Amino acid sequence: MILIQTSTPILISQSVETRYLCNMNSLSTQIESLKKEIASFSIQNAKELEAFRIQFLGTKGVVKNLMAEMKQVPPEEKRAMGQLLNEFKIFAEEKYNTAKEQIDDGSGDDKPAMDFSLPGNALLSGSRHPISLMRNRIVEIFQHLGFSVADGPEIEDDWHNFTALNLPENHPARDMQDTFYVQQEPAWLLRTHTSNVQIREMEKGKLPIRMIMPGRVYRNETISARSHCFFHQIEGLYIDEQVSFADLKQTLYFFVRELFGQNVKVRFRPSYFPFTEPSAEMDISCMLCEGKGCSVCKKTGWLEILGCGMVHPKVLENCGIDPQKYSGFAFGMGIERPTMLKYGIKDIRLFSENDVRFLQQFTGAY
Ligand code: PHE
């Protein structure tokens, strides 16, 4: 025998005294009608949800009261009635949880109905980093000339970064390219130029070579508006029989006219690199003042953009290439410099600060 509350919601929650005696049969009838009541209970907002909770699932609610009455049920009926009550409890909880989910995710009527005429959230499109734009453009120009792209490690050994390039230990030219060493393995260093890839390609022994090597390089330099401890380079290497300085000049001339415009002038100044002989610096006429002289070109009318030269026979030998049969030219340039010129960027640090306000200004096909 079990005492049960009336099915009138208000009475149920407010008056525990209003109870019926019932047996198994009347309990299931009661539960059936309570279920109907629950099913038709309208829960549209947080307030109604809470009213439902108090009435059916609260400490003085229908479910708790029914459970409390179980004490008085004779043992032979306990099991069956318990099961019935349990199912009822799950039924009420399910209604509560589903309604709560809908209200929490905003589909209840607490939130204003969606206004489809409002503008949507704009999809922000990304843009390439200016260094990538410039690198891709340079790569494209050289690809037109039949150069392919080669890649290599940024953590390098002494041989590939220095010694094979005719820069043995204690060579004074190493001072210009001081770098960072790996503490656990002092034989490893961060490459100071992408010339290490030139050595690695030559060592493979597959000739001719016509390649460019873009990548990040490192130097132990004080960070300022004009220099950083890492930057980007593109180097080029062309090795075949009878490659001459004339090929070097014509290739680079074609390149700068493609990049900076057909009116650009070039000049070569003698220079020194241990890995090329003869060596030169190539300047282009300043595109900002058209050679007249301005603050960017320091009133000279010329901008220095790359180093180049004929690959030193010793370097060819170091890589197992016969310098009697083969010759070649190499060149190397920083990517930051022409990018700063192209976009009028005054501080090299901006490239690596990841400031979206800076980065989102660059759009382009590359
Ligand atoms: N590796 C040189 C540098 O980083 C550039 C260079 C490459 C010069 C090839 C000549 C030939 O300064």
Whether a cis peptide bond, with omega within 30° of 0, leads into 153 is no
Ligand 1 within 6 A of 351 CB?
A: no
The better pLDDT of the pair 296, 159 is held by: 159
CB burial of residue 158 (10 Å; 0-12, 13-18, 19+): middle
Q: How far out from the chain centre does Cα 344 lie?
A: 26
- Which of 162, 167, 193 to probe ligand 1 with, by most ligand atoms within 8 A of CB? 193
Read off the pLDDT of each residue in 230-247 and give the average, rounded to a whole number. 98
In angstroms, the CA 271 to CA 268 distance is: 9
Instruction: Give the type of residue at 28.
Output: S
Is 365's pLDDT higher than 60? no
Residue 249: helix, strand or coil by DSSP? helix
The pLDDT > 90 percentage for the chain reads: 69
Q: Which of 123-127, 160-164, 169-173, 334-338 is least confident?
A: 123-127
The per-residue pLDDT for 22 is 54
Per-residue b or e along 75-108, where b marks 16 or more CB atoms closer than 10 Å to that residue's CB: eeeeeebeebbeebbebbeebbeebbeebeeeeb
Residue 53 tokens read as 């909770």
Ligand 1 within 6 A of 156 CB?
A: no
In angstroms, the CA 47 to CA 230 distance is: 61
The better pLDDT of the pair 344, 15 is held by: 344
Read off the pLDDT of each residue in 319-347 and give the average, rounded to a whole number. 95
The better pLDDT of the pair 351, 17 is held by: 351
- Which of 211, 217, 268, 273 to probe ligand 1 with, by most ligand atoms within 8 A of CB? 273
Q: Are strands 209-218 and 230-240 parallel, antiparallel or unpaired?
A: antiparallel
Any idea where the domains of the chain sit in the sequence?
Answer: 2-104, 130-362
Sign of the torsion angle spanned by Cα atoms 320, 322, 323, 326:
negative
| pLDDT tier, 359 (very low <50, low <70, confident <90, very high otherwise) | very high
Read off the pLDDT of each residue in 182-192 and give the average, rounded to a whole number. 94
Rounding to the nearest 10 degrees, give the CA dihedral for residues 287, 289, 290, 296: -50
Is 110's pLDDT higher than 80? no
The pLDDT > 70 percentage for the chain reads: 91
Max Cα–Cα distance, the chain, nearest Å: 114
Centroid of ligand 1 to alpha carbon of 349 (angstroms): 23
In angstroms, the CA 33 to CA 12 distance is: 13
Residue 339 tokens read as 């990018």
Instruction: Give the type of residue at 292.
Output: K
The CATH architecture to which 130-362 belongs is 2-Layer Sandwich (3.30)
Sign of the torsion angle spanned by Cα atoms 173, 274, 297, 235:
negative
Q: What angle do CA 193, 195, 198 make, to 5 degrees?
A: 155
Ligand 1 within 6 A of 215 CB?
A: no
Ligand 1 within 6 A of 193 CB?
A: yes
The full DSSP string for 165-226 is: GT--TT-GGGGGG---B-TT-TTEEE-SSTHHHHHHHHHTT-SSEEEEEEEEEE------SS
- Which of 162, 179, 191, 275 to probe ligand 1 with, by most ligand atoms within 8 A of CB? 275
* Contact indicator for 338, 233 with CB cutoff of 8 Å: no
Question: Any idea which residue has 């204003």 for tokens?
Answer: 112
Name every residue whose Cβ is closer than 8 Å to that of residue 170 and which is 6 or more positions away in sequence. none
Read off the pLDDT of each residue in 196-209 and give the average, rounded to a whole number. 97
Is 89's pLDDT higher than 80? yes
The better pLDDT of the pair 193, 16 is held by: 193
The per-residue pLDDT for 267 is 97
Whether pTM exceeds 0.85: no
The per-residue pLDDT of the chain, averaged, comes to 89
Centroid of ligand 1 to alpha carbon of 332 (angstroms): 4
Read off the pLDDT of each residue in 209-218 and give the average, rounded to a whole number. 98
Residue among 66, 80, 68, 72 nearest 24 (CA): 80
| pLDDT tier, 107 (very low <50, low <70, confident <90, very high otherwise) | low
The per-residue pLDDT for 168 is 92
Read off the pLDDT of each residue in 347-357 and give the average, rounded to a whole number. 94
The per-residue pLDDT for 114 is 75
Query: pLDDT (tens digit, 9 = 90+) per residue, 123-151?
Result: 878 889 999 999 999 999 999 999 999 99
